[in-house]
Amino acid sequence: PGQKISVEQILKSVAAVFQVRVSDIKGTARTKEIALPRQVAMYLAWKWINESLQMLGISFGKTHSTILHACKTIEKKIVDDETLRRQISMVE
């Protein structure tokens, strides 16, 4: 609390929990092993960082609509997926 969370901190935490490299998350690969952690990172950035979707998009090298899609996707998935909920809470 009171500390400003950066996109880099989120990327490092997500990379550690999902056991992928930060460079993979920021990269362009679309494999399931990379896409899910990337979406989780975008979702957490949106949730914790008080910044516009466009600014978050720039941080990830994506468009604002990609960030929005990731957020909606993760919000749908955490309703049913207990494992994903645990992974997200571990990152947080």
Q: What is the mean pLDDT of the chain?
A: 94
Report d(CA 67, CA 43) in Å as an integer. Answer: 7
Asked if 45 and 10 count as a contact pair (C-beta separation under 8 A), the reply is: yes
pLDDT tens digits, 32-55: 999 999 999 999 999 999 899 999
SS3 content of the chain, % helix, strand, coil (to 5): 75, 0, 25
Sequence letter at residue 19: Q
In this prediction, residue 1 carries a pLDDT of 54
In this prediction, residue 26 carries a pLDDT of 93
pLDDT tens digits, 4-37: 889 999 999 999 999 999 999 999 999 999 999 9
In this prediction, residue 5 carries a pLDDT of 87
Q: Is a pLDDT exceeding 90 seen at residue 3? A: no
